[in-house]
């Protein structure tokens, strides 16, 4: 598959010669001349930013300008903001030596001749350029072009199981156990663990990644799906295009029940993508760079599988589908199941045939539509070396690839009553065809009496059987040898051929050993034995993940708990529980990276990454410790020039930090009348953060535009704004006349509140290395916007500002917790929080406890006055870890997670339990809610009455309520070894009320509780809601409603602030709203 090995040489090409910058072409001309069709563009020597802005010629590009002159950076940012494109186009300062990017990230590098290029080594340029990336260097008025060649040691992944031969092995030696972030995108969580996976397919070709994903509401899996085919640059993660896929499989399809062939509806080869853009839709060829439709193939409606090879498309097509089961055919019978959230059923597939068309012209090459293919088993059509192979219920059949003529048939009886996920595994490699399946004597219980009829039970019943690998000669069909096999967990048998050896094992359940015997491909002899997995790492899990595993030429990559790299050259396994693939699909190892699509899992919740992650392994170039320390503190024009008056020191009656105080209680220290009237509102393009208020000013951040704003709290008139190089995801903290905030650029900032002048900034991130995250550039170690300012360690002269940078304690070296003097910006203490073994650099296996592992993930920090909290983690003021034995208000997904994913919530507790039932157990044992506030003695919230693990996320067996509870009634500790299914709630509520909407914001002020949100969860982020949106004021005594006000749109999650007799909040349509209490 390494067809790009020698595609590009590092040749210099002279382009448009010119002596004047204005004559050297527009940004569009420069990009087009580079022939880079999307991705990350970096302009070195950006000056005022005008040319930089032009380089973003459409939405397929993300652009950053670099300059050594900070004044130029400021001008460029102002220009980008004036165009309304800041965020998609940014500017940053650099030292003219090191380019601040992860390896292989940049698609186009444009270097002006004004830059002292001699300071940027050629190796440094090649380090950041992605394969096939381009550098344009201007010298003596002429542009020179250089293309980074495609490395010979990385591979693509064009089909579901790598290629048309179904051998799921990438010839990629750069894929290694993950250590570094390459890029991250959304959705942050999968929609449901108990139903259809949110990821249907993923493939990669020509440096691009393509996948089909459900972008429907995370808050409710009952809400309609929004299936999209998404294209991204494989190295930078920049979004290239999207196309709707509809109709598609029902998102409420039973747990892990297939359909097995769903991932085979997407193939990418070279500059083309082949896909069915919905059930019953024809096969379509799309331009890989733009998504433009190139060809729609006649006669391909109802295609279920696509295989591309040597210019031909080999398609499995069914007869028209029956309405009662859009996936397959007629529903024969149904089964009730204990989960209560769906019914299982049995279907009979429609007859199928093979159709082969020319990929370029669409002309029919040949078809086979006889009885031999009517019951072709899913995933068994494979192509290799001029032959195609498939398996039906009786035989393995070989045909000529060019004509469809039969070459041979071999007996291979198959079981006819099957689970919908249970397909044979067929692989061809080096003249041998391998077929792995359960015995025909072990049919699935479908309820049918006719054992000769092919029936499919749409079920996840875990009755997993052993079977047999049969090896056949690809030339003659002669049976060569057999070996034992075993089904995966709701997944077919895994069979990999690596360097002439066959890898397959027994690993569906946690007690099973894994791969212990390795076979010679041609003889079936055992050529190597391996230790059971339990002797090499801690599995933790009772069962393997529910997907097909993958491999490379160096590793078989299992998913028994996270991702486990089984070394094919040694009896060694490297396990990483903190990474997980998508249910039913798994991970994708290619392009030298591990792609881990979005998952819906709550196991290892204290350490595991969320979102769609591209991760790099090996060793990357890092700065020396000395250079990391340099330039951490930068002093601004206002340094040492702060004048503080009494009003700035006042704390009573202020809402000077996120959620009102340093404990993040969400409670005001004063009363606010429930009788309100609108006072003012201010439009500000969103998305916006929550607001804070102090000393007559209101502060808010435009998170995607990287800008903090100060407004007059009385009338909303603008005072000043300050723009940085990364997102600001939450409002600042105001203390003693200074404004403190962090940014995804890795820095913590201190501004003068009076005019927004920079006092100082401190780099919390260990070095300047950027990645792409959710469509924008940010530090590999982002910092949350809200900074904790408090008294600090004993003996501190000034207040101390605390912030944490990073993603998890297992990637990019860990999480960095820093404390700096709030006045001077000088470092007081810095702690690197890493849970890797300091000697080996690996994840320690002796710390895994079932579905729980040690870990740290950054968050807005909190304090109770005696210690600091970061989610479940607890530290002293010097940053040293403390026992997790103090209850506090936190969220396992972080305070800022606004998705309403059903497995996370705010709680008053000490830790979050992991696993299938752990999220429910914690919710039943602690005061928990989607919205939660508290004072000294009571907590108020909105959440589930009972946290049932089965069906609760589709509205079954669980109701939502508004409640009050006494915080003194919290259980002192959680039960150990609690059963898998949590008991009903153990929280004793003081009162409980059903309300007709979903609060997205909540605030406690005296004896009044304010809450606001829409009637329909689909309106959480809607700028034009279809349901009513309410602001209520209720009594804390009994929950009785005191007042109600209808709003235009929903508030931004957790965005309430109270100050000076006013209630403030931001809205999802980009407004800051102020309500004044009646006098």
Q: DSSP labels for 992-1035?
A: EE--SS--SEEEEETTEEEEEEESSGGGSS-SS-SS-EEEEEEE
Provide the pLDDT for residue 954: 62
Dist. CA 813–CA 836, nearest whole Å: 9
Provide the pLDDT for residue 531: 97
Quick check: 417 pLDDT over 70?
yes
Quick check: 952 pLDDT over 90?
no
What are the backbone dihedrals phi and psi of residue 1013, each rounded to the nearest 5 degrees, phi first?
A: 175, 175
Mean pLDDT over residues 262-279, rounded?
97
Pick the closest to residue 1060 from 589, 655, 622 (CA basis): 655
Dist. CA 1031–CA 1013, nearest whole Å: 7
Quick check: 580 pLDDT over 90?
yes
- Spatial strand order of the sheet with 555-558 comes to 169-170, 550-552, 555-558, 563-567, 573-576
Provide the pLDDT for residue 540: 87
The distance of Cα 807 from the centroid of its chain, to the nearest Å, equals: 12
Task: Look up residue 123 and give its DSSP letter.
Answer: H
Give me 492's structure tokens.
Answer: 């077919």
Residue written as token pair 């769906």? 342
Pick the closest to residue 15 from 6, 3, 24, 4 (CA basis): 24
Could you tell me the sign of the dihedral formed by the alpha carbons of 151, 156, 162, 163, in that order?
A: negative
What is the chain's mean pLDDT, rounded?
92
Pick the closest to residue 934 from 960, 906, 893 (CA basis): 906
Q: Select the more confidently predicted residue: 1075 or 792.
A: 1075
Mean pLDDT over residues 237-264, rounded?
93
Provide the pLDDT for residue 23: 40
Quick check: 893 pLDDT over 60?
yes
Dist. CA 551–CA 503, nearest whole Å: 10
Mean pLDDT over residues 584-588, rounded?
96
Mean pLDDT over residues 955-960, rounded?
68
Provide the pLDDT for residue 959: 85
At 821-837, the pLDDT tens digits run 999 999 999 999 999 99
Provide the pLDDT for residue 20: 31
Dist. CA 406–CA 37, nearest whole Å: 43
Local structure of 117: helix, strand or coil: helix
Tell me the CATH architecture of domain 169-617. 7 Propeller (2.130)
Confidence of residue 234 (pLDDT cuts 50, 70, 90): very high
Confidence of residue 918 (pLDDT cuts 50, 70, 90): confident
Q: 768 and 725 in contact (C-beta within 8 Å)?
A: no
Provide the pLDDT for residue 4: 37
Dist. CA 843–CA 608, nearest whole Å: 12
Dist. CA 266–CA 273, nearest whole Å: 7
Quick check: 329 pLDDT over 50?
yes
At 93-104, the pLDDT tens digits run 999 999 999 999
The three-state (H, E, C) secondary structure of 492-511, written as one string: CCCCEEECCEEECCECCECC
Highest-pLDDT range among 865-869, 949-953, 976-980: 865-869
Local structure of 617: helix, strand or coil: strand
CA dihedral 69, 72, 74, 79 (to 10 degrees): -160
At 751-798, the pLDDT tens digits run 999 999 999 999 999 999 999 999 999 999 999 999 999 998 988 899
Quick check: 252 pLDDT over 90?
no
Dist. CA 607–CA 576, nearest whole Å: 11
Mean pLDDT over residues 797-811, rounded?
97
- Cα Rg of the chain (Å, integer): 30
Dist. CA 1066–CA 1055, nearest whole Å: 6
**Of 530-544, 664-678, 849-863, 912-926, which gets the smallest average pLDDT?**
912-926
What are the backbone dihedrals phi and psi of residue 504, each rounded to the nearest 5 degrees, phi first?
A: -160, 145
Mean pLDDT over residues 871-887, rounded?
96
Provide the pLDDT for residue 883: 96
**Of 48-52, 54-58, 448-452, which gets the smallest average pLDDT?**
448-452
Local structure of 147: helix, strand or coil: strand
Highest-pLDDT range among 6-10, 684-688, 697-701: 697-701
Provide the pLDDT for residue 1024: 96
Mean pLDDT over residues 65-79, rounded?
96
Give me 195's structure tokens.
Answer: 């139903």
Provide the pLDDT for residue 977: 44
Confidence of residue 644 (pLDDT cuts 50, 70, 90): low
Q: 1047 and 1031 in contact (C-beta within 8 Å)?
A: yes
This model's pTM is above 0.85: yes
Q: Select the more confidently predicted residue: 434 or 325.
A: 434
Provide the pLDDT for residue 986: 79
Pick the closest to residue 335 from 424, 455, 226, 437 (CA basis): 455
For residue 630, give every residue at least 6 positions away whose Cβ sits within 8 Å of its Cβ, in sequence order, or none.
Answer: none
Confidence of residue 139 (pLDDT cuts 50, 70, 90): confident
Provide the pLDDT for residue 341: 54
Give me 677's structure tokens.
Answer: 């009237």
Give me 909's structure tokens.
Answer: 């507790």
Dist. CA 850–CA 561, nearest whole Å: 9
At 730-752, the pLDDT tens digits run 999 999 999 999 999 999 999 99
Residue written as token pair 């008056």? 645
For the chain, report the end-to-end CA distance as a whole number of angstroms. Answer: 75
Provide the pLDDT for residue 671: 96
Confidence of residue 243 (pLDDT cuts 50, 70, 90): very high
Provide the pLDDT for residue 11: 34
Q: 169 and 157 in contact (C-beta within 8 Å)?
A: no
Quick check: 646 pLDDT over 90?
no
Tell me the CATH architecture of domain 12-147. 3-Layer(aba) Sandwich (3.40)
Q: Taking the CB of residue 709, how many other CB atoms lie within 10 A of it?
A: 25
- Ordered by start, the domain boundaries in the chain are 12-147, 169-617
Dist. CA 606–CA 873, nearest whole Å: 9
């Amino acid at each position: 598959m390494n067809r790009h090995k020698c595609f590009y040489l590092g040749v210099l090409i002279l382009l448009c010669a010119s002596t004047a910058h204005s004559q050297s072409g527009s940004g569009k001309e420069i990009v087009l001349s580079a022939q880079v069709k999307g991705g990350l563009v970096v302009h070195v020597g950006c000056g005022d930013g005008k040319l930089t802005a032009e380089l973003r010629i459409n939405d397929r590009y993300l652009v950053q300008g670099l300059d050594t002159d900070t004044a130029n950076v400021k001008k460029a940012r102002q220009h980008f903001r004036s165009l309304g494109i800041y965020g998609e186009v940014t500017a940053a300062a650099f030292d003219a030596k090191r380019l601040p990017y992860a390896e292989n990230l940049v698609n186009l590098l444009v270097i002006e001749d004004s830059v002292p290029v001699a300071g940027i080594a050629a190796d440094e340029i090649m380090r950041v350029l992605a394969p096939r990336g381009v550098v344009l260097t201007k010298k003596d008025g002429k542009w020179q072009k250089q293309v980074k060649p495609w490395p010979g040691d990385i591979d693509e992944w064009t089909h579901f199981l790598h290629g048309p031969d179904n051998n799921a092995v990438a010839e990629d030696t750069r894929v290694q156990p993950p250590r570094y972030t390459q890029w991250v995108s959304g959705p942050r969580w999968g929609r449901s663990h108990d139903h259809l996976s949110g990821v249907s397919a993923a493939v990669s070709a020509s440096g691009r990644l393509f996948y089909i994903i459900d972008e429907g509401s995370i808050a409710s899996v009952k809400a309609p799906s929004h299936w999209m085919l998404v294209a991204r640059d494989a190295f930078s993660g920049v979004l290239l295009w999207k196309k709707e896929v509809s109709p598609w499989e029902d998102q409420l399809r039973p747990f892990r029940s297939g359909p097995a062939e769903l991932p085979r509806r997407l193939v990418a080869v070279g500059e083309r993508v082949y896909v069915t853009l919905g059930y019953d839709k024809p096969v379509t060829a799309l331009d890989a760079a733009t998504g433009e439709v190139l060809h729609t193939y006649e006669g391909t409606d109802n295609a279920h599988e696509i295989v591309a090879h040597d210019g031909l498309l080999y398609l499995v097509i069914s007869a028209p589908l029956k309405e009662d089961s859009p996936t397959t055919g007629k529903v024969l019978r149904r089964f009730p199941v204990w989960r209560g959230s769906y019914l299982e059923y049995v279907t009979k597939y429609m007859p199928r045939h093979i159709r082969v068309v020319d990929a370029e012209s669409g002309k029919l090459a040949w078809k086979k539509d006889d009885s031999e293919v009517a019951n072709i088993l899913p995933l068994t059509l494979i192509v290799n070396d001029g032959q195609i192979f498939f398996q039906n219920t009786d035989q393995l059949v070989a045909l000529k690839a060019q004509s469809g003529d039969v070459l041979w048939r071999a007996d291979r009886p198959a079981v006819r009553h099957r689970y919908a996920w249970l397909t044979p595994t067929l692989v061809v490699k080096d003249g041998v065809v391998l077929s792995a399946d359960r015995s025909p004597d072990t049919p699935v219980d479908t309820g049918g009496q006719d054992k000769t009829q092919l029936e499919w039970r749409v079920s996840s019943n875990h009755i997993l059987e052993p079977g047999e690998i049969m090896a056949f000669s690809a030339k003659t069909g002669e049976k060569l040898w057999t070996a034992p096999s075993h089904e995966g967990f709701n997944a077919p048998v895994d069979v990999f051929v690596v360097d002439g050896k066959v890898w397959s094992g027994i690993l569906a359940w946690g007690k099973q050993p894994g791969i212990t015997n390795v076979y010679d491909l041609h003889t079936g002899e055992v050529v190597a034995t391996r230790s059971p997995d339990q002797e090499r790492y801690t599995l933790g899990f009772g069962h393997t993940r529910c997907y097909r595993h993958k491999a490379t030429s160096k590793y078989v990559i299992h998913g028994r708990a996270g991702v486990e790299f089984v070394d094919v050259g040694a009896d060694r396994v490297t396990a990483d529980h903190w990474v997980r693939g998508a249910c039913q699909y798994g991970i994708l190892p290619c392009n030298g990276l591990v792609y881990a699509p979005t998952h819906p899992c709550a196991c290892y919740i204290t350490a595991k990454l969320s979102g769609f992650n591209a991760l790099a392994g090996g060793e990357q170039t890092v700065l020396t410790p000395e250079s990391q320390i340099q330039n951490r503190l930068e002093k601004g024009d206002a340094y040492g020039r702060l004048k503080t008056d009494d009003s700035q020191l006042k704390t009573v009656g202020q809402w000077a930090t996120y959620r009102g105080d340093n404990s993040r209680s969400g409670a005001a220290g004063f009363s606010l009348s429930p009788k309100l009237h609108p006072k003012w509102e201010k439009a500000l393009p969103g998305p916006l953060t929550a607001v804070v208020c102090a000393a007559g000013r209101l502060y808010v951040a435009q998170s995607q535009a990287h800008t903090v704003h100060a407004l007059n709290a009385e009338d909303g008139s603008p005072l000043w704004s300050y723009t940085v190089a990364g997102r600001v995801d939450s409002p600042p903290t105001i203390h003693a006349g200074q404004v403190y905030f962090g940014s995804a650029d890795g820095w913590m900032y201190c501004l003068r509140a009076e005019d927004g002048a920079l006092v100082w900034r401190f780099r919390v991130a260990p070095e300047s290395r950027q990645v792409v995250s959710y469509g924008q550039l940010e530090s590999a170690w982002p910092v949350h916007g809200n900074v904790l300012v408090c008294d600090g360690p004993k003996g501190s002269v000034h207040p101390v500002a605390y912030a944490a940078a990073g993603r998890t304690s297992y990637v990019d070296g860990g999480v960095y917790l820093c404390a700096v003097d709030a006045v001077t910006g000088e470092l007081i203490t810095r702690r690197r929080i890493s849970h890797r073994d300091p000697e080996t650099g690996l994840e320690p296996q002796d710390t895994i406890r079932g579905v729980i592992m040690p870990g740290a993930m950054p968050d807005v920090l909190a304090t109770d006055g005696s210690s600091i909290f970061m989610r479940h983690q607890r530290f002293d003021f010097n940053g040293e870890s403390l026992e997790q034995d103090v209850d506090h208000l936190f969220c396992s997904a972080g305070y800022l997670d606004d998705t309403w994913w059903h497995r996370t919530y705010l709680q008053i507790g000490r830790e979050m339990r992991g696993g299938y039932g752990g999220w429910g157990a914690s919710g039943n044992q602690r005061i928990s809610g989607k919205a939660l506030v508290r004072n000294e003695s009571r907590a108020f919230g909105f959440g589930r009455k009972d946290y049932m693990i089965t069906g609760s996320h589709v509205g079954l067996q669980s109701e939502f309520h508004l409640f009050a509870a006494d915080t003194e009634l919290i259980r002192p500790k959680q039960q150990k070894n609690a059963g898998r299914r949590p008991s009903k709630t153990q929280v004793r509520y003081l009162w409980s009320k059903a309300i007709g909407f979903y609060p997205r914001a909540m605030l406690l002020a005296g004896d009044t509780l304010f809450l606001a949100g829409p009637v329909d969860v689909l309106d959480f982020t809607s700028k034009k809601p279809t349901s009513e949106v309410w602001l209520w004021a209720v009594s804390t005594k009994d929950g009785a409603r005191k007042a109600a006000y209808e709003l235009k749109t929903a508030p931004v999650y957790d965005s309430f602030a109270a100050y000076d007799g006013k209630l403030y909040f931001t809205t999802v349509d980009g407004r800051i709203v102020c309500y004044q209490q009646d006098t």
